[in-house]
Amino acid sequence: MRRMLVALLVVVLGLGGFGQVTISFWHAMSGALGEALTSLVQKFQAENPDVVVDLVYQGGYSALQQKLIAAVAAGQPPTLAQQYENWTTQWLDALVDLDLFLPEEVLADILPQFEQIFEGRIITVPFNKSILVLYYRPDLIPNPPKTWEEFEELVAQVGKDEAKGVYGTAYRPPNPEIFLTLLHQAGGSILSEDWTKVTLNDAAGLEAAEFAARTAKYALVQSAYISDAVQKGITVAMWIDTSAGYTYNMNAAKTAGVPLSVAPVPCYKNCASMIQGTNLGIFSVNQTRAQIEAAARLIAFLLREDNIVYWAQKTGYLPVTKTAIYGKLWQDYIAQRPEHKVMTDQLLAGGFGQLLHPKYMDIRSLLITYWELLLKGEGAPKKILDALAAEIASVIGQ
Amino acid sequence: MIKLPSHLRSRRFWGETAEAYLFLLPTLVVLGVFTFYPFVNAFVYSLYDIRTRTVPGPVVYVLEEGLDSWTNLLARGRIPEDLVALLEKRGAKREDLWVRLRQSARWVLKDEGNNQEYILIKEGDKLIAYQATTQWALDPVGWSNFRQAFRDPDFTKALFNTLKYVGISVPATLFLALLLATLLNQALLGRAFFRLVNFLPYITPVVAITMVWQWIYDRDLGLLNYIVSAVARLFGTKASFFDWLNDARLALPALIIMNVWRFVGYQALILLAGMQGIDREYYEAARVDGASGWQVWRRITIPLLSPQIFFVFIISMIGSFKIFEEVYILFMGPGPQKSALTIVYYVFTKAFDSGHYGLASAASVILFAIIFALSLFQLTVVQRRVHYER
């Protein structure tokens, strides 16, 4: 009897799964972000009963990256995965050309700030994108700074008192994107336009480095997130941080019982601000066409206006398409939420993305090394920049 | 005819040998797959530049006619009729063929039914179809990975940090373990309890231990800085804050302190077992001769304990060279200004952050060579000074 029941169960389950295609989706979204992604995927499955999405949380970004590298090397990558631009450059061959599988209007709707062309191919689309903004304590800084000059003045005013735990600002060595923002604002860049020369140590680069070094004297410099320090009751008057940290920073301030607000990053020659966050790409290795088509449907679903706005509201990430960011849903939302309006304006005013150089992975790790030296005052800014430029030159020359 | 020694001729000998190997088999299989195979491969990979890509294999077809229209079709993800016809002759079905990806003047065509891939490359005015064979690309590069490692300032830093770590933590742990074992060897109240307490750090998972020490070392809320400031207050001076986890000068000491604490109990237990194995008669004879406590410890305990000391020394040295998890968790990176970057951490980031498998393998081979040379030195030179009680 029991054997018959088991057989029946197998048949029923088998029939139930007939005609279904299963795709795997690896991500690094924890907490509230993970919940929002799960509910979006559930909605997709309700609309597409023929697709089963195996949503796998892989831990933080570095764990996801390490697992993807190993999976691609083993020829067993997932169907769909979140990935940073500098990871993508390592496995260009393993990814599908999205223009073959996504409707043209979906790709055309993506905001130009997020456009990604790798060696002439479109292989990823933006998904969870954030931008650097200024978090500040309105009780200490009633009028957030609009220029570098004002920023520097205010930082010096608050000063630094380690015993009391008071700092004018804060910087994280693992986050060289702040330096890149300063560099862009000063009119500089890492490489020349044709990628043949390192331009990071020219006059503009030096201005950025010197500004960072001067303000770092009053800064809390730590590898851990700034929200960790805020939560412990440390006073940081203002700091530049990603909009994706919004919920974390706000919760930390709430725990510490201090007010916190958001303003655009102070500007210099322009108001550039670096975009961070990952994109979605479909792996072609070891996948059937049906799996790739199903993954493309999921991407198109995630880039639909209602879903983008839901995702942005739940997470603090920014809408990535024109339809969504200018649409009524988002505009009504930010009319009620000045902080999200700041982030949106910041993106439209000066959002710029990662350098899509195949060696950016190595370049970024050099940036981290020298950004830390700069923040800790280990040598003159000019000397640090020149050493960094020399190392980048040898990396791109290889 | 060669005559085998008598014990090799008995059936029982061969039966027992076969049985023994049968029992060893599971271990050998597991070790073979997860230890020996990767071990040998690391040597091989260290001589190659390894990348993952689809590599063109043997040429399947050369297509010459109407190239422009074909490239246009392929660029849009469609497969030209002529190509479909050619592939159908090879047993492909039309509905199973699709363009998997394209890259500049190169396309990968997939035959899903036969699970076959073709790489189409435009060369001059011809379109050549290759059979795609593998995703691994291994180019032999000789010793270049080793040269690159020694030229990489990160590697030399990792090497230096690791040597510093081993050079300080191994003797320090051994010395403290020796003192602790001597104490535990006395008849003191609650001896069993203290032995258990000392062993606890060793059996606690390293992840849990490191998380706790992360708190102990915290600049603002940490136990260590709390004690420092309390002591400072006691003397009426201003406390200075030690930023153990963010200060490049303190990161390696922090790592050493944690691991000395972690291993001292375990080593003490091994040494204690050795001490208790020493024949009481030696001590009684020494007492009759009027030897002081220090003389007894120095002249009897230490020499007779030398096999255990030697064992603990070698094991902890090898283990210390392989330090990785503690760094990974304690600093969530290689530490401030890479001051806690160790060789294994370097290997890990080179392989799994930047995909330089060849370089990572070369670095691990260098680490192996260092450990091997030092172990050899200890087994030949140092062991001569070890007393084995007969």
Whether A372 and A330 share a structural domain: no
Please check whether residue A22 is in contact with residue A52, taking contact to mean a CB–CB distance below 8 angstroms. yes
Whether A283 and A185 share a structural domain: no
Domain-located, residue A23: yes
pLDDT at A242 over 70: yes
Q: Which of A267-276, B24-33, B139-148, B379-388 has the lowest mean pLDDT?
A: B379-388
Share above pLDDT 70 across residues of chain B, in percent, rounded to a whole number: 94
pLDDT at A13 over 60: no
Residue A199 sits in a domain whose CATH number is: 3.40.190.10
The residue with tokens 């009053």 is A218
CB pair distance less than 8 Å for A224 and B332: yes
CA distance B355 to chain A (A): 7
Whether A332 and A383 share a structural domain: no
CB pair distance less than 8 Å for B337 and A284: no
- Of the candidates B77, B101, B245, which has its C-beta nearest A95's C-beta? B101
Tell me the backbone φ, ψ of residue B109, rounded to 5 degrees. Answer: -105, 135
Mean of all residue pLDDT scores within chain A: 92
Per-residue pLDDT tens for B235-277? Answer: 877 667 788 898 899 999 999 999 999 999 999 999 999 998 8
Q: Which pLDDT value is given to residue B62?
A: 79
Whether A335 and A311 share a structural domain: yes
Which of A61, A83, A97 to mutate to probe the B interface, most B CBs <10 Å? Answer: A97
A296 vs A316: CA distance, rounded Å: 24
pLDDT at B146 over 80: yes
Give how far Cα B38 sits from Cα of A35, A76, B33, Å: 39, 19, 7
CB pair distance less than 8 Å for B246 and A62: no
Please check whether residue A258 is in contact with residue A153, taking contact to mean a CB–CB distance below 8 angstroms. no
Which of A220, A221, A223 to mutate to probe the B interface, most B CBs <10 Å? Answer: A223
Whether A24 and A125 share a structural domain: yes
Q: Which pLDDT value is given to residue B53?
A: 64
Q: What is the count of structural domains for chain A?
A: 2
CA distance A69 to chain B (A): 6
Domain-located, residue A201: yes
Burial class (CB within 10 angstroms; exposed 0-12, middle 13-18, buried 19+) of B202: middle
CA distance B54 to chain A (A): 7
pLDDT at A184 over 70: yes
Q: Which of A281, A276, A272 is nearest to A118 (CA)?
A: A281
Cβ-Cβ contacts under 8 Å, A65 against chain B: 352-353
Mean of all residue pLDDT scores within chain B: 87
Share above pLDDT 90 across residues of chain B, in percent, rounded to a whole number: 40
Residues 58-77 of A with CB under 8 A from B: 62, 65-66, 69-70, 72-73, 75
- Of the candidates A93, A120, A223, which has its C-beta nearest B331's C-beta? A223
pLDDT at A245 over 80: yes
Radius of gyration for the alpha carbons in chain B, expressed in angstroms and rounded: 32
Domain span at residue A313? 18-129+276-352
Whether A326 and A365 share a structural domain: no
Tell me, what amino acid is at A28?
A: A
Cβ-Cβ contacts under 8 Å, A233 against chain B: 220
Whether A395 has its CB under 8 Å from any CB of chain B: the answer is: no
CA distance B209 to chain A (A): 19
Segment B334-353 mean pLDDT: 92
Whether B38 has its CB under 8 Å from any CB of chain A: the answer is: no
User: What contacts B25, CB < 8 A, 6 or more positions away?
Assistant: none
Whether A229 has its CB under 8 Å from any CB of chain B: the answer is: yes
Domain-located, residue A225: no
CB pair distance less than 8 Å for A93 and B331: no
B148 vs A100: CA distance, rounded Å: 40
CATH topology of domain B144-385: MetI-like fold (1.10.3720)
Where residue B149 falls (left for φ over 0; alpha for ψ -120 to 50; beta otherwise) is alpha
Q: What is the largest CA-CA distance in chain A?
A: 84
Q: Which pLDDT value is given to residue A15?
A: 47
Per-residue pLDDT tens for B115-131? Answer: 888 888 888 778 888 88
Tell me the backbone φ, ψ of residue B61, rounded to 5 degrees. Answer: -140, 155
Name the residue in chain A with its Cα closest to that of B137. Answer: A73
Q: Where does the pLDDT of residue A8 fall: very low under 50, low under 70, confident under 90, or very high at 90 and above?
A: low
Whether B152 has its CB under 8 Å from any CB of chain A: the answer is: no
Which of B354, B356, B357 to mutate to probe the A interface, most A CBs <10 Å? Answer: B354
Q: Which pLDDT value is given to residue B344?
A: 96
B34 vs B31: CA distance, rounded Å: 5
User: What contacts A201, CB < 8 A, 6 or more positions away?
Assistant: A382, A385, A386, A388, A389
Whether B110 has its CB under 8 Å from any CB of chain A: the answer is: yes
Q: Which of A295, A345, A296 is nearest to A318 (CA)?
A: A345
Higher pLDDT, B164 or B388: B164
Burial class (CB within 10 angstroms; exposed 0-12, middle 13-18, buried 19+) of A131: buried
CB pair distance less than 8 Å for A65 and B353: yes
CB pair distance less than 8 Å for B352 and A97: no
CA distance A338 to chain B (A): 33
Whether A372 has its CB under 8 Å from any CB of chain B: the answer is: yes
Query: Is ipTM > 0.90 here?
Result: no
Please check whether residue B364 is in contact with residue B347, taking contact to mean a CB–CB distance below 8 angstroms. yes
Residues 161-180 of B with CB under 8 A from A: none
CB pair distance less than 8 Å for A365 and B353: yes
Segment B132-148 mean pLDDT: 81
* DSSP letter, residue A95: B
Whether A302 and A215 share a structural domain: no
CB pair distance less than 8 Å for A223 and B135: no
Per-residue pLDDT tens for A61-80? Answer: 988 998 998 898 888 899 99
pLDDT at A313 over 70: yes
Higher pLDDT, A332 or B225: A332
CB pair distance less than 8 Å for B103 and A284: no
Domain-located, residue A71: yes
Whether A190 and A289 share a structural domain: no
CA distance A146 to chain B (A): 31
Q: Which of B121, B101, B52 is nearest to A287 (CA)?
A: B101
Domain-located, residue A13: no
Chain-centroid distance of CA B354 in Å reads 17
Segment B8-15 mean pLDDT: 82
Per-residue pLDDT tens for B161-209? Answer: 999 999 999 999 999 999 999 988 887 777 788 878 888 888 899 999 9
Neighbours of B344 (CB within 10 A): 20
Please give the span between the terminal C-alpha atoms of chain A, in angstroms, as a whole number: 69
B243 vs B250: CA distance, rounded Å: 7
Whether B384 has its CB under 8 Å from any CB of chain A: the answer is: no
- Of the candidates A223, A233, A288, which has its C-beta nearest B112's C-beta? A288
Query: What residue spans define the domains of chain B?
Result: 6-45, 51-140, 144-385
CB pair distance less than 8 Å for B337 and A289: no
Domain-located, residue A266: no
Segment A84-89 mean pLDDT: 91
DSSP per-residue string spanning B329-346:
HHSSSS-GGGTT--HHHH
Per-residue pLDDT tens for A29-70? Answer: 988 889 999 999 999 999 999 999 999 999 889 889 989 988
Q: Which pLDDT value is given to residue B165?
A: 97
A150 vs A144: CA distance, rounded Å: 8
